[in-house]
Structure 1
Amino acid sequence: MPASTTLSDSELIGIDVNGHMTPFHAIFLRDSCSCAACIDPSTRQKLFQTADIPLELRPRIEQSTDETVRLSWENDVAGFSSDHETVISKAFLADVLALQTKVLREKTEDPQTQLYWDAAQMEKENSSISYHDYQSTAGGVFEIVDRLWRYGLAFLKDVPDEVDSIEKIATRIGPLRNSFYGTTWDVRSIPNSKNIAYTDKFLGLHMDLLYMVNPPRIQILHSLRARAPGGASMFSDSFRAAELLQRSNIAGFRSLATFPVTYHYDNDGQHYRFTRPTVELVGITDVNSLTDSDLAAARIERINWSPPFQGPFSAGFGVHDSAVALKSYLAAAKTFNESLNSEEHMYEYRLKEGEAVVFDNRRVLHARRAFDAQGGERWLRGGYVDEDVWKSQIRVAGKRISDNQS
């Protein structure tokens, strides 16, 4: 059995953060050191291990200002000189405290800046961004990244009529995501298609690749040809529909956040399969442990909804004990689906040649009206970007804003 761990007063040090004296542990403060001896200035990688820190480490405040605290160490990490000091930003410590109370999000990830929209609001708010500005200025990239965070949907205009334009759009955010469709792919009507997207039929609201462990977060579609009658794109904000259910029917919302739905692709020599709830919440893995009031206050992180690629439910959901959960899920799914597909929520836009749409694949559902493939060519080029890449851009943009304001 491991020995029990206790804390002594000498291991804790009080630091004034925003007018409040707060105790921080020596191990945490030492591990947070970002001096050149601890963090390589070029690679920004850590040069010591947390496991190297002595349990008997003791801190001493050498200087404290409104902005920083400077510490020296007794019994420091082996190999560090006796005059090694750590300078820590009090803004960093304030962020740590905020994380502990689940308040902090990166500045550009502030939930107050996310705007859940309906069709009328998107009609009013939507404005296309110049491809030239997007490619040549930091402000253009930030505008797209910011709109993706706020609305989950952004448009580009004046995109060159070139097959590699999709790569240039994507890589301004980050590397393209590869899949069995390739790094980029064409959306055209083809005979005997293995995917309904590659037909001229109506394609209902859905999200892409939910049958994979890590579905792409950002999807990009560039319109190269728009000469076939019909084929308008439709978009719906799933966060808004889910929030409406969260406010009006907490039992239904709980069902969408807990009931496992399986998505699969089993065709053309490929078999992908993954099971996930319809609603994923920020920082919450055990929804059943939440009270109704806590669940009503929870924030939505991702939505999973892709009826064309839904597989059979997991074994057992047809038997009596779990049939109640299945029936509850169906009732909630009906309400959610009606909201998503309502005229109020469905924003319709027919992409012109030389336009591109960029959207959050885990928030904004997309659909397409049927079109007449005999009446002209309809050709889109598509690509994906992963969530980590997009979130990195959000944080970089947020830091740039913070630096410019300081």
Structure 2
Amino acid sequence: MQAGCHALFRRGGSLMRHSAKLMLPSARAGTTSLSARQRAPSATPALCDQYFKRDVSTSVTSDLHRPQPGLVSASQGHNTLKVFWREGEPEEFPYVWLKDNCQCPACFLSTASSRVARVSNLSLDVRPKDVHVSPDGESLTVVWEDGHEGTFEAGWLHERAFNPTQQDLHQNFYKLRPELWNSDMSQRIPRASFDELMEDDAALLKMLECMEVLGLTVVSGARLQEGELHRLSERVSYLVPTHYGTTFTVKNKADPSNPAYTGKFLDLHCDLAFLHYKPCVQLLHCVTQFSGDGGDSILADSHYVAAKMRELYPEKFHLLAEILVDFRDAATDEGLQFDIIARRPMISLKPTGEIDTVNISTTGRDSHLGVTPEEAVSWYDAYLTYCDLLYSPENHFTYKLESGEILIVDNHRILHGRTAYQAYAGERHVQGGYWDWDMMRSRRRVLQRKLKGSS
């Protein structure tokens, strides 16, 4: 929902390109453009597998089907219990961990997947008095020195083994690994059918996996009226309200509270960077598409471009990751007056150093910059370097949504924009909303478990 029509400059100061020129195919210098006329017709708009370099569903779901090895025996060490499997290498489990994760009804409430034992009952000095494996090898029973007894299923233990392989499998269950992309994504845009998402859990699971890995999906077949985002959200996640409402309508308005409510060019941006809880996933339902030239969506993987910048210009990358920038939204919308400010770096990093999210918004970025003049010049140098990479033809593409399509993007990763259109010459009507990653990943995990026995 941010806008802008600004010139981007190369480091020498010469004009790189005016962003409005992206509207013109002749000026895109190789930028991939997919208009409705150029797209190959598809008899089945359902989500397909071709857009993956690897089959995402096998990255996690197949692990849920993998048979778990049975137990053979167990031996006590100083601080750990060593268990031996029918297949594979033996594993060690710390006594304190076993006691902390006792699965008996007195210690664990299975209906809530939650411990109920008091932490005061836990000690580093806990030791078993007796350990034995069931005759069928399916469980391990530990009797502690205080007489407390706990039984662990073999499969449960195996899933939680401390070896790198099992930890890596759990990491991929927790959060799927992203696959970064450039303009070649225009040739393999993931697609889904609205009706299938509403009726088929397998199709919904594939879409959710795709969103985690690639960060975008185009859903076709929605009705040409507002309210479809609410219907789809009943299958996925609650809609996250903002000061623009639970959903918002993007049309040309006489007194716009946001540049998106005009026909102007919208620079590549993430939505609502001025909120400390920046929405995770954005949905844009194209109810009516502008019939003339313009109104195309521009898409780029900000993490791919940031990773490239880190490699090519490490010092500039770190400037964007360190200097705090004010993002602000001050206007009146539907009678609500607001002045919202958040301060964050352009590139936010996780404690591990991985890229967490890119915060970029031409109009949402405030004029206050709490650095020295010299630091400001260095920051702009780094910022424009990132924009040079971002708008390089190989790093973004355009796609014109058709009426009835819903564009879903990871707002923490995928930047989107819009080419200008003559708003006075026709209607363009889009309804937008936001989802939460916690709820989406929860839905994905639940569906994986649910479909475990059906494939």
1:166 aligns with 2:220: no
Quote the offset at 1:399 in angstroms. Answer: 4.2
For structure 2, list consecutive stretches of 5 or more residues without a partner in the other structure: 1-76
Tell me the residue number matched to 2:68.
none
Residue equivalent to 1:13 = 81
Counterparts of 1:73 and 1:370, CA distance in 2 = 71
SS at match of 1:72: strand
1:299 to 354, 357, 365: 354
Q: What is aligned with 2:94?
A: 25
| CA 1:376–1:279: 2 relative to 1, 3 Å | same
2:208 and 2:214 map into 1 onto residues whose CA distance is: 10
After TM superposition, the structure 1 = structure 2 runs for residues 250-399 of structure 1, keeping only pairs within 5 Å, are: 250-268=314-332, 269-284=337-352, 298-315=353-370, 317-318=371-372, 323-324=374-375, 326-399=376-449
**Shift in Å at residue 152 of structure 1?**
0.8
CA distance in 1, matches of 2:338, 2:137: 59
What is the TM-score when the length of structure 1 is the normalising length? 0.81
Pick the aligned partner of 1:109 from 165, 171, 175.
175
- CA deviation after TM superposition for structure 1 residue 350, in Å: 1.2
Residue matched to 1:61? 131
Match of 1:143 in 2: 206
Q: Tell me: CA distance 1:282–1:16, structure 2 relative to 1, closer, same or farther (3 Å).
A: farther
Name the SS for the 1:42 alignment partner: helix
**1:326-360 deviations in Å (ceiling 9; x for gaps):** 44433322221111122222221111111111110
- Give TM-score, length-normalised by structure 2: 0.73
Distance in 2 between residues matched to 1:266 and 1:68, nearest whole Å: 61
Change in 2 beyond 3 A, CA 1:341/1:107: same
- The 8 Å contact of residues 148 and 154 in structure 1, kept in 2 or not, is answered as yes
Residues 102 and 302 (structure 1), Cα distance of their counterparts in 2 relative to 1, 3 Å cut: farther
- Seq. identity, %: 24
Stretches of structure 1 lacking an aligned partner (at least 5 in a row): 1-8, 77-81, 285-297
Residues 250-274 of structure 1 show CA distances to partners (whole Å, capped at 9, x for unaligned) of 2222222222222121222212211
Match of 2:36 in 1: none
Alpha-carbon distance, 1:86 to partner: 4.1
Q: Which amino acid aligns with 1:128?
A: R
Give, as a single letter, the amino acid of the residue that structure 2 aligns with 1:311: D
Q: Secondary structure of the residue that 1:367 maps to in structure 2?
A: strand
Greater shift, 358-367 or 139-148, is seen at 139-148
- Shift in Å, 1:238: 0.6
Distance 1:352 1:244, change over 3 A: same
